[in-house]
Amino acid sequence: MKNIQKIALITAVLLGLGGCAGMSAKDQNTAVGAGVGAVAGAVLTGGSAVGTVGGAAVGGFIGNQIEKK
């Protein structure tokens, strides 16, 4: 993936997270996990759409399961 694509993806994720103010902690964890997973999936697979979506799904699931104690 080209640097400009990485920057655009990261910027979109960060802007999307700005809407998390009214969400519950579990919903915020899910959204953050999905965003991080999407970026990781895209980087690891060279920008593959399947890798990006798969990373988002796995990251969202992991984020949903995290609970603060």
19-69 pLDDT tens trace: 767 888 888 889 889 989 988 998 899 888 899 899 999 999 999 998 766
Q: Is the pLDDT of residue 14 over 90?
A: no
What pTM does this model have?
Answer: 0.69
Residue closest to 20 by CA, chosen among 39, 33, 37: 33
In sequence order, which residues have a C-beta less than 8 Å from that of residue 26 and are 6 or more positions away? 64, 67
pLDDT of residue 56: 92
